[in-house]
Structure 1
Amino acid sequence: MIGEQEQDTAVATPEDIRRTYDVLAPYVRRTPVLELDPHDLTGDAGTGPWRLALKLEYLQRSGSFKVRGAFANLLLREPPEAGVVAASGGNHGVAVAYAAHRLGVRARIYVPTISAPAKMDRIRELGAELVVGGDRYADALAAADSWVAESGALSVHAFDQRETLLGQGGVGVELAEQVPGPDTVLVPVGGGGLIGGIAAYFAGSARVVAVEPTGAPTLHTARVQGTPADAPADSVAADALAPRRIGELAFRVAQSFVDESVLVEDDAILTAQRVLWQAARVAVEPAAAVGVAALLSGAYRPAPGERVAVVLSGSNRPPGFLA
Structure 2
Amino acid sequence: MTDVELAAARIEPYARRTPLLRTEIDGKPLVLKLEHLQRTGSFKFRGALNALLAGGKPDRVVTASGGNHGMAVAEAASVLDIPATVYAPESVPESKARRIVQAGAELVRAGENYAEAAKLAQEQPGMYLPAYDHPDVIAGQGTVGAEIVADASDVDTIVVAVGGGGLAAGTALSADGRKLVTVEPANCCCLHEALAAGTPVDSRVDSVASSALGATRAGQLPFEILQAAQPVSVLVNDDKIIEARDLLWEMFRLAVEPAAAATLAAWLAGEVPGELACLILCGANTDWSPA
Match of 1:294 among 258, 263, 266: 266
Q: In structure 2, what is the Cα distance between the partners aligned to 1:314 and 1:258? A: 25
> 1:135: which partner in 2?
112
| 1:46 alignment partner in structure 2 | none
In the alignment, structure 1 residue 193 sits paired with structure 2 residue 166: yes
Q: Which amino acid aligns with 1:136?
A: N
**Superposition pairs of residues 250-261 of structure 1, within 5 angstroms:** 250-261=222-233
Map 1:43-192 → 2, pairs under 5 A: 50-81=28-59, 83-147=60-124, 151=125, 153-192=126-165
> Which stretches of structure 1, 4 residues or longer, exceed 3 Å deviation after superposition?
none
Cα contact 1:199–1:258 (8 A) shared by 2 = no
> Is the Cα contact below 8 Å between 2:52 and 2:58 reproduced in 1?
no
% identical equivalent positions:
43
Question: How many Å separate the matches in 1 of 2:203 and 2:248?
Answer: 28
What CA deviation, in whole Å up to 9, does each residue of 1:24-63 have, x standing for no partner? 1001000000111122xxxxxxxxx642000000000111
Determine if the alignment matches structure 1 residue 313 to structure 2 residue 286. no
Question: Is 1:16 aligned to 2:7, yes or no?
Answer: no
Instruction: Give yes or no for the alignment of 1:230 onto 2:168.
Output: no
* Partner Cα distance (2:248, 2:209) in 1: 16
Amino acid at match of 1:223: L
**3-state secondary structure, aligned to 1:210:** strand
| Number of aligned positions between the proteins | 291
Matched, 1:264 2:236: yes
Letter in 2 for 1:28: A
8 A Cα contact 1:207 1:258, kept in partner: no
Q: Deviations over 1:257-287 (max 9, x none)?
A: 1421000000001111100000110110011
**SS in structure 2 of the partner of residue 72 of structure 1:** helix
Q: Cα 1:98–1:64, aligned 2, differ >3 Å: closer, same or farther?
A: same
Flag structure 1 segments of 5+ consecutive residues without an equivalent.
Answer: 1-13, 40-48
Q: 1:146 is paired with a residue of what secondary structure?
A: coil
State the partner residue of 2:21.
34
Shift of 1:139: 1.1
Contact kept? 1:133, 1:139, Cα under 8 Å: yes
| 1:81-101, Cα deviation, whole Å (9 max, x unpaired) | 2x0001001000000000011
Unpaired segments of 5 or more residues in structure 2? none
